[in-house]
Structure formats: C-alpha cells, structure tokens
Structure 1
Amino acid sequence: MSATAPNGSAEQSELPGSVMSREMAEQPEMLHRILDSGASRIRETAALVAARKPRFVLLTARGTSDNAALYAKYLLEIRLGMPCGLTSMSTTTAYEARPDLRDVLVITVSQSGGSPDLVASTKAAREAGAITLAVTNNPDSPLAAVSEYHIDIMAGPEKALPATKTYTASLLALYLFVDGLAGGDGAAAKDLPGLAQSLLDRQDEVRTLAARYRFAERMVITSRGYGYPTAKEAALKLMETSYIPALSYSGADLLHGPLAMVGNVSPVIAVVPDGRGGTALAPVLERLRERGADLVVFGTAEQVEQASAGFVLPTEDVAEELQPLLEIIPLQLLAYEVTIARGQNPDAPRALAKVTETH
C-alpha cells in the first residue's frame, strides 16, 4: 500500500506525499473549471492575437513549463503550420542581444509568473516589438504585468514542489488558445475531466508497475510526436521526486546512438500515442524488444500486450493532440508511487524550489 491515495482523507494529510497526492486528485475538477469558466476568455485572447497576424512564434519557459511549451510547439506547427522555436533566454538576459521581434508572438509559460529571467526575457521581447502572451497560474504576477496579453490557467494554489495540476492546466489552456487561433470552439476537450478521473481511479495498477523501479538506478523514457513532451515531463517528475536519473529521448533520437546503452533488462518506459506518433514509434519499440529491454508501455492495448508490462490509456476516441493531457496522469502517479516505495517524500524533494531564479 502507498502512504495515501489521490483522494486521501484529512487524517492522512501529514503522511509523506499527501500534498502531491491531493493536488493530482484535483485535476479533473480543475480541467472542468477551465472548460467551464476560462475557455471563452482564452478564445477572446486568441482572437485578439490572431488579428495581429504574427509571422511565427517563440516559446519561453523553464522546467515543467518548458515541457508544456514544447506541447504548444507541436500544436502550433501541426495545426496552424506556424513556425515555432524555443527561446534561449540567456541571449537576452546574459548576452543582452536584442533581436528584431516585430510581428513575432512570444509566449511565456510559467506557473508562478515570478521567475526573474522569464520576466526580463519577456520585457526585452516586448521592447523589441514582439506580441507577448503570458500563460501563468497568477494573473497578478510580474510576468503577467510585463506581457501584453495574459491567460490564467486557473489551477488554484499549488503547494507541492513537483508540479502536477499546473502542468495539465497549462496544456489545456495552450490547447484552447491554439484551437482558438484556428477558429475552434474547444468542444473536442469536453470529455477530458471524466477521463482524467478514470485514470486516477486506477492507481492500484500504477502501484504495481512502480514496484519494478524500487531499486532502479537509471531509466529511459521515450516517445514521438505529441507524446514527446509527456516523456520529458515524466522523466522530470521521476528525477525530482525519486532522484532516479531518467533520460528522455524522442524515439528518433534514441536510435541515433543512445540505444547502445539499452541492454538486457534495462528499464524503458514508452509513451505510445494512439495516432501518427505511435505509428512513428513502432520501429523503436521493435528495436527495444530485440535488445531485451524491460519495456513498459503507456499507450494502446495492442502495444501494451507486446511489452513486458504496461498501462492502457483510454484514448480510443480522443484526438491525438489532446492525449498528452491524459498520458501524463498515470506517469505522475508512477513518480509518486516509486518515490513512496523508495522510502522518500515526494512533497519535499531535496534542492527543489517552486520559483527558479536563474539569470
């Protein structure tokens, strides 16, 4: 048994992991709140930005928010054919470069909106002519103040050091924004809250998988397409809670050298989207099976059956672009359960702060 379940009682509130557990459990309600109360405002912001006709997009973030920004990059490039890049903040904050950003949309994603380098980078971008949009959990933050536009992800206070609900909230807010840029109404996301709850209700399955990694010294997590940001975020969660070195690779990159480190019984987690990303990942999974890797799949029933073990995701009727909001939930649970199994406290990972003050 784990120390607590995501819907843990007040009696369990002092046990290790209770804060992270509670915040994971809030995700279905949070997703519903965004769809019910925030979607129309996000579409209004999208319409204002679309009217400015940006030439391309730059995305700025750190840590978990960086993985959410990567998801937005896939959305913007695939759905809108809009060129996107991930910024190198030190070019403006450390090297004081001032690129010409006229008619460029700069989206900065930050849970707190308080990181000095994000604020400085966004301020410099706006001064260089960019259309600036902040996506934060704090509309009163310094980042929101220096940005021309702001989207509130409406996740509510997040007290656990490992970000969980703010990640899924960021994904949904970014999806609704891009969908709004494309003239959509966000209807495809309506079933997400119920599906998220169904995943949380399967924690016992995740706990069984977590036992495989109690003594793990290293892990590899891989995916392709829309699943790649999920792989990166899952690796980050495992590293910052359980301290297991977890390396995340695109399946294509994994085949270009790093596959050599994967041998017999090497632990590998594959996030297999139900769609083109999963199809592109299939040759990688075959190579991993050939090498005898301990392959655990989070994805379709077909791929789980061919792996050493796995977790079937309820994505049959979910658009591939929305699947990352579901893929990450059992992987958050996995990070939590692995950490508890190793006798550690996911609420208090060492050397981790909510606001990273890099310059």
Structure 2
Amino acid sequence: MSEATARPGERMTAEIAEQPRVFADLLAQHDRIAEVAARIAERRPRFALLAARGSSDHAALYAKYLLEVLLELPVGLVSPSTTTLYGARPDLTDVLLLSVSQSGGSPDLLEVTESGRRSGALTVAVTNTSDSPLNAAAEFGVDIRAGQERAVAATKSYSATLLALYLLIDAVRGGSGEHARALPELAQRTLDTTGDAVAEAVRRYRFAGRMVTTGRGYSSATAAEAALKLAETSYLSARAYSGADLLHGPVAAVDSETAVLALCSAGKGGEAMRDVLDAVQERGADICAIGSAADAVRASHRIGVPDCAEEVAPVLEVLPVQRLALGLALERGGDPDNPRGLKKVTRTR
C-alpha cells in the first residue's frame, strides 16, 4: 500500500506487532553482544556515562538503573551541550561512555563520542544502524537489529534498545541473559491479551486534556517514554515524574481532572508505587495502572502484563503503552504515522 493510501496508524500498528520477532532475533545475537561486554569487563571502568536524545534518552535512563544496580557502577547522564556548545573536555580515562541512538546519525552525540574517545573513554555505540557515523566513531558497537522503522514514533527500535542494553550490561557481570530468554513469548502474550483492556483505556481517556505518567525504579524509564509517546501522537499534555518526585510537590496539581498512567510491575519499584497511588487517588485522579503488579495497587483501570524479572519488565510494560498512544491518537482523529508539526525522522536501515 502506498504512502498516499495507507490507513492512519498503519505503520505504527505493524511495527508494534513486530516486537516479539525483533526480540527473538536480538536474543539470537547474544554471543556478539557478549563479546563487547567482555571487552568492557576487561577494562574495568570506574564509572559510566550515558549520552542519548529523545526516546533513546529514556532507554539510557533504564541503562542507568541496570548499571547502578547490576554492576554497582556510579552513572551519569551526559549533557551533550557541555561538549558541543561549551567545548568542555573532561578527563574520561577509565570511563565507559555508552552512546545510545537509534539512527546513529545525531551530530551532537557523534561529537560527544569522538571527544570522549579522545579524552580516554571506552566508547560503545548502541544503534539500529550498524554502518552509522556513531558506530564508526565508537570503539565498539552494539546493533539492536530492529530493522527499518517507518513510523514516526519509535516503537520496536525503543524496546529493542532496552533489550540490547540489558543483554550487554548483564553480560558484563557474567550473566547469560537468562531473564530475557522468555521475552519473545511473553511479548506476544502481552500483545494477544491486553487488547480489550487497552481499548477500554482509550475510551476512558480519549477526552483527557492532561495526563501524568509515573513509575519507580526501572519503570521510571517507561513513564518517561509514555509521556513522550502520548504527547507526540495524541497531542496530550503529558508530564512524567518518578513516583518519589511526584509526591514532592507536583501531586498538589493532581485533581479529578487529571488522568494518571502508573507503571507498576512486580518488584521493589512496583511495591514502592503503592503509597504514591494512594496519595494520588485521594486527590481524585483517574488512575490507569499498567504492569504485572497492576492488580495489587489502587487504580480506576488496570492493564496487566505477564510476570517477569523486574530488571526486564520495561521491555514488556511499554507494549500496552505504545498501543494506548496509538489508540488515543486514532480515537482523537489524528494519524500517529503523520503527527502534525513533527519533523523527527528516525534514520534506520
């Protein structure tokens, strides 16, 4: 079907559905990722820095939790403008610099990576374009293997980036990717079983004017990605907060006119969301809980996903989030494949 005759949301719909296959393909490349991990382990970095933009920035936030929890490395998120605008050149000897970019063509990330390598960093590019300038600039590269992504809103490339980062960081600690092995099957089950609950959420929130997204721990990354997806596809005024930050001031702006999307997967992060959602519900907000622990929290609506290890939960819980953004965009008369005023193109091959 040509671009002119494509139905609204057709590309985003197809790419959401591809994700179980993408996960299986990526898991089949575990040995290649483990080779890069072995080089990182040999160099024994003293801390890590993450450079990213947009959806990749949310994937980097997920990686921050993985690095701090699984490897117990201190981690920082790079502000690219300190290099590109201000010319800062800190000493990065014995530092791991992970540059995350689906296209691998971001000029500022390229400059950060080149500068970091000259300053002594161990540079690793995580991209969906193996022959990109970013891969050429970095010492090592990890290919997320999501294939061409034609939808404007990143879906399969985002979740594949999460999985690639998990496999890489888990392998640095000597892991075999055991917790990720079932993800293709669990992802397909998530897509097969959450359709009705997502459709009901679309009906509930189709007239919402503003939404807060929130999560704790690993799921903080999904909350951030959810706000971006809702804003860029449905034009919702969506703001993401960690559950802890939400209670430190912003909760005062939550009321009965506020829709709250809460990520609640089983584990320490999901458990920590109980008090957050109790406080939010007392303010009269309409809460949609998404995750494997959705049934265990106070919420107006729930979208459950299969159980898995907490450290890989963001790979699954983002799937109904993507479908919710897609459904809301269509219900509100938009086309998420051609959002108005959005010029972003993810350059992948």
Aligned partner (choices 122, 129, 138) of residue 138 of structure 1: 129
Alignment of 1:264-275 (within 5 A): 264-275=256-267
SS in 2 for 1:323: helix
Gaps of 5+ in 1: 1-8
Residue 60 of structure 2 corresponds to which residue in structure 1? Answer: 69
SS in 2 for 1:129: coil
Gaps of 5+ in 2: none
- Is residue 2:162 matched to residue 1:155? no
SS in 2 for 1:194: helix
Residue 327 of structure 1 corresponds to which residue in structure 2? Answer: 317
Partner amino acid for 1:221? T
Residue 188 of structure 1 corresponds to which residue in structure 2? Answer: 179
Output the CA distance in 2 between the equivalents of 1:96 and 1:187: 42
Output the CA distance in 1 between the equivalents of 2:313 and 2:333: 32
SS in 2 for 1:246: strand
SS in 2 for 1:295: strand
Range moving further from structure 2, 90-99 or 261-270: 261-270
Output the CA distance in 1 between the equivalents of 2:339 and 2:323: 16
- Is residue 2:329 matched to residue 1:339? yes
Is contact 2:125-2:138 (8 Å) kept? yes
* TM-score between both structures, scaled by the size of structure 2: 0.96
Partner amino acid for 1:100? D
Partner amino acid for 2:196? D
Is contact 1:115-1:355 (8 Å) kept? no
Is contact 1:35-1:190 (8 Å) kept? yes
* TM-score between both structures, scaled by the size of structure 1: 0.93
- Is residue 2:251 matched to residue 1:259? yes
Output the CA distance in 2 between the equivalents of 1:81 and 1:34: 25
- Is residue 2:93 matched to residue 1:102? yes
Output the CA distance in 2 between the equivalents of 1:62 and 1:240: 15
Structure 1 residues 356 and 99, CA gap change in structure 2 (3 angstroms): farther
Q: CA deviation at 1:60?
A: 0.3
Range moving further from structure 2, 348-357 or 273-282: 348-357
- Number of aligned pairs? 345
RMSD value over aligned CA atoms? 1.8
Alignment of 1:237-256 (within 5 A): 237-256=229-248
Q: CA deviation at 1:265?
A: 4.1
Structure 1 residues 102 and 15, CA gap change in structure 2 (3 angstroms): same
Q: CA deviation at 1:212?
A: 1.5
Q: CA deviation at 1:13?
A: 7.4
Aligned partner (choices 303, 308, 317) of residue 311 of structure 1: 303
SS in 1 for 2:142: strand
Alignment of 1:1-359 (within 5 A): 14-36=6-28, 38-201=29-192, 202-300=194-292, 303=295, 306-315=298-307, 318-355=308-345
Output the CA distance in 1 between the equivalents of 2:323 and 2:296: 18
Output the CA distance in 1 between the equivalents of 2:215 and 2:13: 26
SS in 1 for 2:213: strand
Output the CA distance in 1 between the equivalents of 2:5 and 2:312: 32
Quote the sequence identity (%). Answer: 54
Structure 1 residues 93 and 99, CA gap change in structure 2 (3 angstroms): same
Q: CA deviation at 1:355?
A: 4.8
Structure 1 residues 58 and 278, CA gap change in structure 2 (3 angstroms): same
Q: CA deviation at 1:299?
A: 2.5
Structure 1 residues 43 and 295, CA gap change in structure 2 (3 angstroms): same
Range moving further from structure 2, 283-292 or 332-341: 283-292
Range moving further from structure 2, 71-80 or 260-269: 260-269
Is contact 2:265-2:293 (8 Å) kept? no
Output the CA distance in 2 between the equivalents of 1:349 and 1:179: 37
